[in-house]
Structure 1
């Protein structure tokens, strides 16, 4: 199977479902947040050559709204899909154009997603965190935060590039978010999600966007979008578990 078709197959296998979740939007400059519920419905046709997408929003005041996206036609998708990770977003920083990205991590029937939006000047405006379950809404389940004692956790790393190439798995070591970049904004958000994002992005500068999800006390996933001075270069997925 060619690489683009393989990427589409991952989309169909793991992401063409109904996801029930709570969205929490964090506004950086204004320093406030708001929450809503949403059902994201991805429906594939019989041969998975087309995927339809609808979002059904339930706002805090009880009002409801539905929006339709797509359809997505085989094999065209802007996303990169791995077994437990999906990410898409702006390919580069362009003056006067908003910059964004969307990264999702999967743990069986649960999903966690972080979305960041930057304005036309490259300043971080809003972070949205989605915590979702298949087929029904579920209660939030707090988990412990990562700390220094997790430094001996064992990890594997998979790299995927925009041409859909997936590189062989390698071993990796746990590094705390503040050690990855002292300049990024680091936030510990809801439901075990933490992020490390630059507070501003600009063309000609190398940077990365990191999302961590501690989905339970024995599983941490880390997804990083890497950018060189001109373009998006790769998505890496790291999976950490305690030593046996």
Structure 2
């Protein structure tokens, strides 16, 4: 079995939780109980996945992975569109795993490539306590974060690994972010209103959510311009993971990056 399939196996088990559907502004649209189970068949050569959300149930069996999905060693993954194209639905799911807990988030754009809706999925292994973190706040993110980024590629070229550092400060003019990686430093400013952080120059929004989750999205995806979709999870006050899918100016999915960072 290849390393991607082995990483998928980190998700085996029965995961209980909820699917919480939200508007682009974070307004609650629907909240449904869920159970998602992964079981290995034929010496784990095949996976049977049963998804129960509310009254609906789907059963899937597969022995290989699709083009749009990639896994990291710890079982974290993202699946979604491999191409940004006009008049087609665009979006992606991001999944994190930490001990007995998983956090997943789906972000979707409509056929005009406008940000449409989110689904936040909070899960725990059956038989374990359903521990959840508080709703994420700007204050919880302030300070200096240092960690490592791992980038993997759909064409299966060799992964890249590099240190990364992020600093977030809040002052009277708004939020200032400084991001340093690969001998580059990028600084940007944003406005903060309730649970929404908006980088006005690029029209990129960060929405702060329950269980320490955050989701970063362009309000309007643009053909002919590179873009990225990101989801973050504050696992505990000093440990955070972020994952982002990057698309080039042709709209092609080119990489997936997982950042693990600690507050210093």
In which range does the TM-score fall when normalised by the shorter chain?
A: 0.7 to 0.9
Counterpart of 2:38 (choices 12, 37, 42) is 42
User: What is aligned with 1:113?
Assistant: 104
Q: Secondary structure at 1:97's aligned position in 2?
A: coil
* Secondary structure at 1:191 match in 2: helix
Per mean C-alpha deviation after superposition, the further-off stretch among 140-149 and 179-188 is: 140-149
Query: Is 1:195 aligned to 2:215, yes or no?
Result: yes
CA distance in 2, matches of 1:170, 1:139: 32
Q: Does the residue aligned with 1:153 lie in a helix, a strand or coil?
A: strand
Partner of 1:73: 63
Structure 2 residue aligned with 1:26, among 16, 22, 27?
A: 22
Q: Provide structure 2 residue ranges, at least 5 long, that are not aligned to the other structure.
A: 169-174, 178-187, 189-198
Instruction: Report the Cα distance in structure 2 between the residues aligned to 1:101 and 1:189, rounded to whole angstroms.
Output: 17
TM-score where L is the length of structure 2: 0.79
The Cα offsets for residues 119-174 of structure 1, whole Å up to 9 and x where unpaired, read as 11111111011111112461533266454875333211111111234524321102
Q: Do the aligned partners of residues 71 and 155 (structure 1) sit closer, same or farther apart at CA in structure 2, a change above 3 Å counting?
A: same
**Is 1:158–2:155 an aligned residue pair?**
no
Higher strand share: 2
TM-score, length of structure 1 as denominator length:
0.85
Structure 2 partner of 1:8:
5
- What is the CA–CA distance in structure 2 between the aligned matches of 1:46 and 1:190, rounded to whole Å? 38
Partner of 2:196: none
Distance 2:65 2:210 in 1: 34
SS of the residue corresponding to residue 74 of structure 1 reads: coil
Structure 1 equivalent of residue 254 of structure 2: 233
Kept in 2, the 8 Å contact 1:144–1:217? The answer is: no
Q: Could you tell me how far apart the structure 1 residues matched to 2:51 and 2:165 are?
A: 38
Matched residue, 1:95: 86
Matched, 1:217 2:237: yes
Q: Write the mapping of 1:55-66 to structure 2, written as runs, cut at 5 A.
A: 55-58=51-54, 64-66=55-57
- Kept in 1, the 8 Å contact 2:245–2:255? The answer is yes
CA distance in 2, matches of 1:26, 1:121: 19
Change (3 A) 1:135 1:148: closer
Query: RMSD of the alignment, in Å?
Result: 2.5
